Amino acid sequence: MKRLLLMSVVCSALMGCKTVPPPKPLTQLTPQEHAGYVAYQQNCAQCHYDRDTGSLHGPSLLGVYKKPYLQSGAPANDERITWTIQHGRGMMPPLGGQVSPDDIASILAYLKTL
């Protein structure tokens, strides 16, 4: 019993371990999360999978808020992800000119359902 508990703790500490809960079903999204889903399809989906693992042009954002760190090692939090959207990173273009602060807030709400 004790051993099992220890194993699940070790397991959830490792990346890639399938202990993350699945994304919230699209039919259960709140209005803001749904607005974020729509904005995601317009601004992010061409480069990032949301409900699937694996890389497209950028890393999959499935479970992005369920992991402590982004691909770069930066913390997975609102501040960092907002900054990335506005200013870009590496091969990701800055999107601050095309995605409004309202849309960013909705996109973050949607990302938290993944």
Residues near ligand HEC, by CB under 6 A:
43-44, 46-48, 57-59, 70-72, 74, 81, 84-85, 89-93, 95, 99, 107
Please state the closest distance from residue 6 (CB atom) to ligand HEC, in A.
Answer: 31
In the complex, which residue's CB is closest to ligand HEC?
Answer: 90
Please state the closest distance from residue 3 (CB atom) to ligand HEC, in A.
Answer: 35
Nearer to ligand HEC, 22 or 101 (CB): 101
Q: Rounded to the nearest 5 degrees, what angle is found at the Cα of 81, between the Cα atoms of 77 and 86? A: 150
- CA-CA distance, 110 to 18, in Å (whole number)? 21
Cβ(84)–Cβ(92) below 8 Å: yes
Residue 89, SS3 per DSSP: strand
Please state the closest distance from residue 95 (CB atom) to ligand HEC, in A.
Answer: 5
Nearer to ligand HEC, 35 or 107 (CB): 107
- CA-CA distance, 71 to 64, in Å (whole number)? 9
Nearer to ligand HEC, 4 or 54 (CB): 54
Give the count of alpha carbons within 13 A of 81, CB side only: 21
Q: Per residue in 45-71, is it b (16+ CB within 10 Å) or e — as a string? A: eeebbbeeeeeeebbbbbbbeeeeebe
Nearer to ligand HEC, 7 or 93 (CB): 93
Please state the closest distance from residue 8 (CB atom) to ligand HEC, in A.
Answer: 27
